[in-house]
């Protein structure tokens, strides 16, 4: 099985915080002679609409040197938090995980960074936590970006996204 360093997150919008996490994943993967990968969760019915289309999201993730996409079906969201790192290791070759400071996982979102750190250590998986990214003193989040877009503030949302949201084109190869 190919070794992988896996970025964990939903990556809605692939904003500047996600970009930092994806860049860190690519760097660690190179250091560990592993494939840089991103874990992608399916959108659930109770979630807000996505900032980007699924195709745009994939293109933006790949633009950060991520070579493998791991799609997690919604059925696996009911997995116990304690089983999550072991699943990634056995099914996807995880030798390293990269997560944001507030990453939650497992059934009911009961898994947190402290639990993930403990589980990774027990399974010999490197865990790297990326601190929150701020722009002008405010934490970047998909929720905040979604609100800015709903308010019609595309310019400010674009700053947090790290690309011009208003000029997204069908040619996703120009994303960067």
Alpha-carbon distance of 54 to 73, in angstroms, equals: 14
pLDDT in tens, 159-174: 999 999 988 733 433 3
Residue 81 three-state SS: helix
The residue extents of the domains of the chain are 4-133
CA distances from 29 to 6, 19, 110, 129, 141 (A): 8, 15, 27, 15, 25
pLDDT in tens, 17-67: 999 999 999 999 999 999 999 998 776 667 788 899 889 999 999 999 999
Domain 4-133: CATH class, spelled out: alpha beta
Q: Are strands 138-139 and 134-135 parallel, antiparallel or unpaired?
A: antiparallel
The model's pTM is 0.90
* pLDDT (0 to 100) of residue 50: 85
Q: Which long-range contacts (CB under 8 A, 24 or more apart) does 24-27 make?
A: 24/98, 24/128, 24/130, 25/64, 25/66, 25/96, 25/98, 26/64, 26/65, 26/66
């Amino acid at each position: 099985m190919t070794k992988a360093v896996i970025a964990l997150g939903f990556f809605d919008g692939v904003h500047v915080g996600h970009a930092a996490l994806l860049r860190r994943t690519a760097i660690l993967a190179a250091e560990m002679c592993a494939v840089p990968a991103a874990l992608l969760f399916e959108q659930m019915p109770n979630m807000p609409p996505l900032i980007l289309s699924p195709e745009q999201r994939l293109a933006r993730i790949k633009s950060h040197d991520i070579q493998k996409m791991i799609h997690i079906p919604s059925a696996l969201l009911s997995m116990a938090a304690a089983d999550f790192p072991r699943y990634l290791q056995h099914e996807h070759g995880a030798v390293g995980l990269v997560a944001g400071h507030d990453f939650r996982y497992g059934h009911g979102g009961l898994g947190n960074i402290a639990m993930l750190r403990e589980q990774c250590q027990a399974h010999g998986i490197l865990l790297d936590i990326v601190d929150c990214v701020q722009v002008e003193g405010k934490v970047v989040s998909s929720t905040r970006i979604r609100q800015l877009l709903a308010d019609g503030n595309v310019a400010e949302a674009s700053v947090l996204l790290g690309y011009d949201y208003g000029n997204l084109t069908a040619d996703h190869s120009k994303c960067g």
